[in-house]
Structure 1
């Protein structure tokens, strides 16, 4: 069986909002993203419960059903780092929007392709839109952290079809994420 990824998910970790205090009066937060055996982390932002990371982390996606797990930690110098909450990033709605068979090139900039509402099944703090913007499909979202008293993380998803990737084409189509689906009848 081929072990090629479907593609690359770029996660833009923008900022944390009202994160929990884990030191005396503040925290030193950083984020860890996990997808299967892949584990990536942001830099630490010292003394800030509203940190701005503005970092892009890229993960290789092999299965559309695998969520990306996000965990926020407080960096401690002399003891183990404290967990400040976590959230699962459900990438399925985003990937399904990319496979809708729409000629995205004909859409106006900023056009919403799909909207995802908060539910018990996701960690969204508010409705999230999947947009066609500047030749790319992106999804901005604010995730409410679980297992903590407060805190949210703002991120953006973007798909990259890298060299050697299978892509997201459905059977019977020659679709790429930026082209319409054409059935071969």
Structure 2
């Protein structure tokens, strides 16, 4: 991939109140797509409140390209069922990165993003200084489904010899 400006480490932590797609439960997994990139967590059997704690990494070439998250139910004999979707917006996070902060006390909240009609947030999302880096924690409300949320954390990783987003 040419012109990578950085990597986005995404820790898909857990799902909450996901819809039941099989008779009594679901076997959920998450797919994250951005342009031609497609990443997938492992599936968790029989759990509508799964804990994935899977780390996925996207190569970022353009911060304006949407990042989409979909939750699916793994099926053995039929095609997998979709259990909802959300969009991950990293624009506020990238703006905080561009301020080139350093030396803040651990746990300092740099910015808060509030849920709105323009985003998929289910709760206030904090961009926080942690272990010398900025991270953003978010809980996304799934769309096109009765219930369901996915919790994740993102962190930027600079790539040597790439276009510089963060100095």
Per-residue deviation, 1:139: 0.3
Per-residue deviation, 1:4: 1.5
| 1:75-134 C-alpha deviation (Å, 9 max, x unpaired) | 0000000000000000111001111243x21x1110011110001111000101100011
CA distance in 1, matches of 2:146, 2:137: 23
CA distance in 1, matches of 2:83, 2:144: 8
1:183 matched residue in structure 2: none
Per-residue deviation, 1:3: 2.7
2:122 matched residue in structure 1: 125
Counterpart pick for 1:158 among 155, 158, 164: 155
Per-residue deviation, 1:67: 2.1
1:20 matched residue in structure 2: 19
CA distance in 2, matches of 1:101, 1:7: 15
TM-score by length of 1: 0.87
Question: Which of 1 and 2 has greater Rg?
Answer: 1
CA distance in 1, matches of 2:57, 2:100: 25
* Aligned-pair Cα RMSD in Å: 1.2
CA distance in 1, matches of 2:60, 2:91: 11
5+ residue gaps, structure 1, are: 170-175, 177-185
Q: Does 1:116 align with 2:113?
A: yes
1:180 matched residue in structure 2: none
1:58 matched residue in structure 2: 57
Q: Is the 8 A contact 1:4 1:164 kept in 2?
A: no
- Equivalences, count: 167
1:76 matched residue in structure 2: 75
SS at match of 1:97: helix
5+ residue gaps, structure 2, are: none
2:145 matched residue in structure 1: 148
TM-score by length of 2: 0.97
2:90 matched residue in structure 1: 91
Q: Does 1:136 align with 2:129?
A: no
